[in-house]
Every structure is written in C-alpha cells, then in structure tokens.
Structure 1
Amino acid sequence: MTTRYIAAALLTAAAFGLVPLSTPASAQQAAPETQPIQAQPESKGEAAVSDQKIEAFAVAYLQVDKIRQEYAAKLQATQDAGAKQQLQTEGSKQMVQAVEGSPGISVEEYNSILTAAQNDPALVKRVQEKLQESAPTQQPATQQ
C-alpha cells in the first residue's frame, strides 16, 4: 500500500510539474550546475529506455496530462483548502488509474521515465517525438 501512495505522490508531483517535457530548454536548465558531469549517466539512461516503453509512456502521459488539466482547472476554481486537498487526492488517484490502465507500462516505469527525462535532454527529445506522434491518435479517442 505504501508503494502505491508513494507512486501516486510521485505521479502527482510529476504530472503537476511536467513543464520539462513540453520545453526541452526547461529540462536543461533544471540542474545544469548541480550535476555538470552527467554525459555518461545520461547515455546509459537513454539506452535503458526502449522505444516501446517510450511509446507506452507517451500514451499514458497524454491521459495523465488530460486529467492534470481537468484538475488544475478545478483547483483554480476552488478556494477551500480542504476541497483543494480532496481534489488533489482525487486527481492523483485518477492519474495512477490512467497509467495502470495504459498497456505496456506500470506506474513505477512511468515515474522512472519521467524522472530520467528531467535529467536527460536526449530522452526528453525522444519522449517529445513520441508525444507528437501519439497525440493525433489519442485526440479522437479522448473526445468522446
């Protein structure tokens, strides 16, 4: 149970702060001075993520992002702190369910790719390419 809550917390934190995936410059600026010598770990991280996992990540990410947008709007419209907490918990659960319902990826793998992408510009680029490829195929399915 604790692992699920940790995964949900990571997923929520990542989903509400996914700016690095949409702007590669942000990902590069995230930690340029804290870890200046990262060339070798980056290439290992990139090699460890298969194209199939990146594709599965992209599909799950699009679903999570849709939920994130929905709940961000709800959170902005809400003033009550208790209601905001409840919305965050509810949104987190829905994000976890979206990833769990996506074929070919687990919540742990999703979080792992997300974390790796925050420190690996090459991985960000690969993910962005898959997101661009996957987005058109996802749009009709999500606009029911």
Structure 2
Amino acid sequence: MSLRSHLVYTALFAASAVAAPAAWAQVQEPASPAQEYPSPAGEAQTPPMNEAPESSSAASAQISDQKIEQFADAYVAVQTIQEKAASDLQTAKEPAQADQVKQKAESDMIAAVEKSGLKVDEFNHIVETMTANADVRERVAAKLQERQGGG
C-alpha cells in the first residue's frame, strides 16, 4: 500500500473514530470474562494476558500536548477535504474524473497533515494509539470540541 493510500485509509478510520468525541468520555473498557463470570471458589484465576495499564498511560504521555494540538488541526482539515471529495465524487460523471478527485483529495490530505506540523507517519501513529488508548482518545476529543466551539 502506498503512503498516500495508507493516509487515506488512516484518515477515514480517524474520521470514524473521532466522529463521536463526546461518546468517548463514556467509553469503558470491556470487562474480562473473569470479571463478568467469576470462577467457582477454589479455582485459580489468571489475569488476562492483554492487561498492561502502565503501557496505556505511558503511550499517552509519549504524545505531547503539542502533537495532540497538531493532530486536531490536521484532522479538522482532513475531514473538510474528505467531505468536499465525497461531494465531488457524487457529481463525477466519468471514472477518470472520480480518480482525479481521489488523487487530489489524497494530495490535499497529505499537505494538510504536513501543514499542521506533523509528518504523515506521526498522524498515523496517533490514530493507531487512539484505538488502544482511551486517554489519547479523550485528549483528542477535547481538542476537537474546542475547535468546534464546544469547550
């Protein structure tokens, strides 16, 4: 997958992940089966393999407030580009015209990310971190709400 295609897919994922920032504050980690269904007395319980609370907060601390600010700026710009491209794609009459719209949107999204001060791989890293780290999701959601006049 090319860098451009990866950015487009990542941006689309980010758009879906950030579409409901207010809901993120209410997202809770799912309970492990051991928490939902306690084992009978006397059976040893093994902790879930995927629990690593220190790594979650460590990942959040590794993303500076400045990077979160830059990500929010880039996200808003990318979302605007995506909305325009979606509208333009609906009016495209020829496949070649649709391809041109997609290519322009990809170029514009890359430029928007870079204009924010982030590299494309930094943008993608923050998106990936958001999927696994509620603190990062909440920090991004707060910045986006500020930009939308909600905070």
How far apart, in 2, do the equivalents of 1:130 and 1:73 lie? Answer: 26
Q: Deviations over 1:110-138 (max 9, x none)?
A: 111112112222211110101111334xx
User: Matches of residues 107-126 of structure 1 in structure 2 within 5 Å?
Assistant: 107-126=120-139
Partner SS state of residue 16, structure 1: helix
Q: Which residue of 2 aligns with 1:15?
A: 11
Q: Deviations over 1:21-76 (max 9, x none)?
A: 123668x7xxx99xx82543432321211111101111111111111111011122
Question: Residues 57, 90 of structure 1: CA spacing in aligned structure 2 closer, same or farther, 3 A cutoff?
Answer: same
Q: Does 1:106 align with 2:103?
A: no
Could you tell me how far 1:83 is from its partner in structure 2?
A: 2.6
Q: Deviations over 1:84-105 (max 9, x none)?
A: 2221111010000111112x32
How far apart, in 2, do the equivalents of 1:43 and 1:79 lie? Answer: 49
Q: TM-score, normalised by structure 2?
A: 0.70
Q: Any gaps of 5 or more consecutive residues in structure 1? A: 137-144
Count residues with an aligned counterpart. Answer: 128
Same amino acid, percent of matched pairs: 31
How far apart, in 1, do the equivalents of 2:124 and 2:79 lie? Answer: 14
Q: Does 1:59 align with 2:73?
A: yes
Q: Which residue of 2 aligns with 1:93?
A: 107
How far apart, in 2, do the equivalents of 1:79 and 1:39 lie? Answer: 51
Larger fraction in helix: 1
2:58 to 44, 66, 71: 44
Could you tell me how far 1:12 is from its partner in structure 2?
A: 0.8
Q: Between Structure 1 and Structure 2, whose CA radius of gyration is higher?
A: 2
Q: Which residue of 2 aligns with 1:127?
A: 140
Q: Any gaps of 5 or more consecutive residues in structure 2? A: 33-48
RMSD: 3.0
